[in-house]
Structure 1
């Protein structure tokens, strides 16, 4: 099975094949409009502007599984992100990334690369870990998505290269993108 075999849905209901992104590098992200990491929408927009002509696509999938931080539908999420954060990259319909209703694309992504160890060096990392451990302990097990703004980097041939946790520095992500392009 290849990443190009999956279907995704735009907020307007239109079904799109991942084949649309063949020969493009992709940063695929589960997002939330009311999360402490929403500043990353702007950071990702800057990456998109800088690297889209080199073949980078950023694909955003709203998810409400982490503390009810994306209660609105995909259409409202997309509008909100465009207005508040200037997002121009595609935002798709709201999905689930863990559990029985996990979207098939994210199930595929989660099983292609290992989870990095959960860093607990900074106060933000410790607080996030403690919050997840207390409220969503199953998300710390196996290959589950641990929180909003988990990112998967995919090369132009469709190979999943790396997984980045929400607190990964955008500078580190940019370096990985540059090496890929």
Structure 2
């Protein structure tokens, strides 16, 4: 089993098999429009524009599970991403990434990767840890998504290569993408 065995829904409700992206490098990210990490849309769009012609595809999955930071409808999310950040990569339908209603894709991603901690050089790292320690004291022991803008890098073969927490520096993600593009 790999990522190509799943289908996802577009913001318009159409089912899309991830096998349509076979042979491309995918960066899968759960997003939110009212989060301290929301400006990462801009960084993600720059990555997409830099590497899309070499085979990178970014798939964003809005999620409202982290302090209600994605309350809008699929239509309003699309407008926000386009108008505020000029996003041109696919922003899919809003989903759950954790719990009993988590999408099959995210159940797969989180069951095959571990949480490796936050990058403490990021200014929001301490605040995230504070929130999570209150809400889920055992959060470090599970593969669940901890917050918005967690990213998964998928190789051309559909296998998970890396997991990046929201505090991961964009240059680290960029380096791993470049390495996969060369192989």
- State the Cα distance separating 1:134 from its structure 2 match: 1.8
**How far apart are the structure 1 equivalents of 2:108 and 2:169?**
24
Figure out how many residues of one structure are paired with residues of the other and give that number. Answer: 181
Q: Which runs of 5+ in 1 are unaligned?
A: none
Q: What is aligned with 2:89?
A: 89
CA displacement, residues 63-116 of structure 1 (integer Å, 9 cap, x when unaligned)? 000000000122221121011000000000000011111110011111222221
Superposition pairs of residues 119-158 of structure 1, within 5 angstroms: 119-120=119-120, 122-137=122-137, 139-158=139-158
For residues 108 and 86 of structure 1, do their structure 2 counterparts lie closer, same or farther at Cα, with a shift above 3 Å needed? Answer: same
1:57 equivalent to 2:62? Answer no
Matched residue SS, 1:161:
strand
Matched residue SS, 1:81:
helix
The answer to whether the Cα contact below 8 Å between 1:61 and 1:92 also exists between their aligned partners in 2 is yes
For residues 137 and 87 of structure 1, do their structure 2 counterparts lie closer, same or farther at Cα, with a shift above 3 Å needed? Answer: farther
- State the Cα distance separating 1:135 from its structure 2 match: 3.3
Matched residue SS, 1:180:
helix
Superposition pairs of residues 1-181 of structure 1, within 5 angstroms: 1-120=1-120, 122-137=122-137, 139-181=139-181
Matched residue SS, 1:144:
coil
TM-score, with length taken from structure 2: 0.94
- State the Cα distance separating 1:124 from its structure 2 match: 2.1
For residues 139 and 101 of structure 1, do their structure 2 counterparts lie closer, same or farther at Cα, with a shift above 3 Å needed? Answer: farther
The answer to whether the Cα contact below 8 Å between 1:24 and 1:156 also exists between their aligned partners in 2 is yes
**How far apart are the structure 2 equivalents of 1:137 and 1:104?**
25
Q: Root-mean-square deviation (CA), in Å? A: 1.4
- State the Cα distance separating 1:122 from its structure 2 match: 5.0
- State the Cα distance separating 1:155 from its structure 2 match: 0.6
**How far apart are the structure 2 equivalents of 1:89 and 1:123?**
27
- State the Cα distance separating 1:121 from its structure 2 match: 5.1
